[in-house]
Structure 1
Amino acid sequence: MKKEQVTQLLVRLKSGENEVYEKLYPLIYDELRGLAYRHMKHQRADHTLSKTELVHEAYLKMIDQTTINFSDKSHFLAIASKCMRQILIDHARKKHAQKRGGKNKDLTYIDEIFSRQKKKAKELIDIDDALNELEKLNERLAKVVEMRFFGEMTIEDTAEALNISKSTVKRDWMKARGWLYKELKGKFDV
């Protein structure tokens, strides 16, 4: 029942009923938190964004986009996952920029921790850059990676969101992972 209810609200949203966002949010909040949890588990332990903040920022980002056209609940969650990825990438870019430069000092334990965090942010940025490059070559492959890796969506959910077969998702997932492996191989230990 919940899936149909969400889909009905998305249809109403498409027709311009913006107040539907207020009804939609409580219905999908737990699933958005699950997406945020899956995204955050790939982040460092002391990340300054909480799962709740990530959910709220992603939802606000989606509300601001008047051109987003959700076809159903799976598609909505796929777009939410992409928004979360973009928020985390923006956050990593800011952190990476803040940690660049500075005066040369003797390394302390704290400096070593910052250095590791900078490396982790740089890796996330490298993954995002490679994924953006893949999107230029094959948009569907990039979407499959976003949904499967960042959103940890199942093959079935990914197929439904992209309106393709499960075997196509499996093939695309394999191709995309191979392409990303070659792209990222020299950047850091993969």
Structure 2
Amino acid sequence: MSTTDRFDDAEPPEAASTGDTLASVTRLLVDVEEGNDEAWNQIYNLVYHDLHRIARSLVRQHVQPGISPTSLVSETWLRLARSQFSARCRSHLTSLIARAMRFVLLDEARRTLTTKRGNNPFTESLSETHELAVDSQLEQLLEINEALERLVRVDSRLARVVELRYFGGLEEEEIGEILGITVRTVRRDWRKARAFLQSQLDNHPTHS
């Protein structure tokens, strides 16, 4: 699969949260703002299933050998906890989670590639072809992130759409709710963002 094909095939996983669950999360966020720290644990339990489902999709898509869906969820939540984040509402929380997952994946990709490059490049491996394929995908992930950072400077909303859909695995309706735009606008923004990213990746090919 070529680098640009990734954006053609990127489809967010089907949303599984019920209206009751979303309402419960929103109420618990209010409790957090009122000083109920235990509410964070309750929120985590409510959203864990969806987080794990999204994490499974992301790990399969990015083929990161050093991270599992469970560890991705755990690292994401720990990153948020360390940042002492504050979410205004359920959609804001979803946006923060999507960003945190993105950075966890990027950090793991950098760590994996740095570790491998520190080893003897002439060491033979029975799975050398597989390893090269994995390395290429990790490098592509970093290239995509660099292109996304360039998109932020051009149009920050388009970059948010990519972050929420490509890294956060969110549905168009969810993205529209978070950004305060219509589904039609989300689709138009996604097309624009994908075209920009593909052109950037074509001009900045993955390093061999």
CA distance in 2, matches of 1:149, 1:26: 24
Equivalent residue number for residue 48 of structure 2: 29
CA distance in 1, matches of 2:113, 2:56: 22
- Root-mean-square deviation over aligned CA pairs: 2.0
Instruction: Tell me which of 174, 177, 180 is aligned to 1:160.
Output: 177
Residues 123-163 of structure 1: CA deviation (Å, up to 9, x unaligned): 11111111122122222111100111222211111000112
CA distance in 2, matches of 1:48, 1:102: 16
- Cα gap change, 1:134/1:9 in structure 2, threshold over 3 Å: closer, same or farther? same
Contact 1:75 1:162 in 2 (8 A): no
Query: TM-score, normalised to structure 2's length?
Result: 0.81
CA distance in 2, matches of 1:2, 1:121: 35
Equivalent residue number for residue 79 of structure 2: 61
- Aligned residues between the structures: 186
CA distance in 1, matches of 2:119, 2:51: 38
CA distance in 2, matches of 1:14, 1:129: 35
Equivalent residue number for residue 13 of structure 2: none
CA distance in 1, matches of 2:62, 2:121: 27
Q: What secondary structure, in the 3-state scheme, does the structure 2 residue paired with 1:49 have?
A: coil
Equivalent residue number for residue 130 of structure 2: 113
Q: What secondary structure, in the 3-state scheme, does the structure 1 residue paired with 2:62 have?
A: coil
Contact 1:13 1:20 in 2 (8 A): yes
Instruction: Tell me which of 62, 70, 74 is aligned to 1:43.
Output: 62
- Cα gap change, 1:34/1:74 in structure 2, threshold over 3 Å: closer, same or farther? farther
Gaps of 5+ in 1: none
Q: Which has the higher contact order (CA 8 A, sep 6+)?
A: 2
Q: Which amino acid aligns with 1:25?
A: Y
- Structure 2 matches for 1:77-92, cutoff 5 A? 77-92=94-109
CA distance in 1, matches of 2:82, 2:121: 42
CA distance in 2, matches of 1:30, 1:85: 18
